[in-house]
Amino acid sequence: MNCDHCCSHGSSCIISVPVFKGMNKEDLQLLQNVTRSRHFLKGEFIFREGDRSETLFVVNEGLIKLTKMSAEGKEQIVRLLFPGDFFGLFSILSNEKHYANAEVIGSPTVICSIEKGDFLRTMEKNADLSFRFLLAVNDRLYEADESVGFLSLMEVEQRLARALILFHDKLNACNGTFTLPITKKDLAGYIGTTPESISRKLLAFMSQKLIAMDGRRQIQILELDRLKQMAEMD
């Protein structure tokens, strides 16, 4: 970790979060003035499960995984966070401890932060912003419910197809091509399977000409519509 300062990334952080769009210039400037940015290295933790904080975090650059550990010590990836995603909101609004670990898995990673008092003051002055955050919380609850079905009802190939489509969309793939942003081990933890199963399913996708791979991490989606059908996303 090598940097902690105001505003060098604050403006781009605020602009990148959809929920902040549409704010008036005065409120937007106030929020930018109290936004701090910090560089993290791969493997560092923003916070750990059980920690308390009064901070809203925004991914400006890089990739974060939210994880929980089972009683047996097995890691489960709850969510992947891409540039523009915010996290820590529940801890702010409910004064509760963080329910998961937030670990950096992309390098370089820049995280912006807004302290609770500054954030709430801005929300109090902007009814539209408050409403959009309410909608964002509702979306998170929907995603959490969907995730339960995602892991318990779908076959591995369906889960993998959904993950590949997520990466394709979040990474703005050019000509359907992107670099797998996480290791096969992390991908396995994300969709609830093993790295060996990931390798077998990727080979199966290649044989079906759904994807092409160049090396271990470079993936090109050849048949996006077919992949969406497999993932039941039509």
Domain ranges of the chain: 18-151, 155-231
Report d(CA 195, CA 180) in Å as an integer: 14
User: Would you say residue 149 has pLDDT above 60?
Assistant: no
81-137 pLDDT tens trace: 998 888 987 777 777 888 899 999 987 899 999 998 888 888 787 787 788 777 877
CATH 3.40.50.10540 describes domain 155-231: no
Scanning 153-183, the segments in alpha helix (DSSP H) are: 156-170
Same CATH topology for 18-151 and 155-231: the answer is no
Specify burial of residue 30 (Cβ count, 10 A radius: 0-12, 13-18, 19+).
Answer: middle
CB-CB neighbours of 145 under 10 Å: 10
188-205 pLDDT tens trace: 988 889 999 999 999 999
Mean pLDDT of 46-63: 91
Nearest Cα residue to 187 out of 221, 160, 218, 219: 160
The CATH class for the domain spanning 18-151 reads mainly beta
The amino acid present at 21, given as its one-letter code, is K
Nearest Cα residue to 99 out of 68, 136, 74, 142: 68
Q: What is the mean pLDDT of the chain?
A: 84
Least confident of 54-63, 151-160, 170-179: 151-160
| pTM score of the predicted model | 0.82
Q: Which of left, alpha, beta for 61 (phi over 0: left; psi -120 to 50: alpha)? A: beta
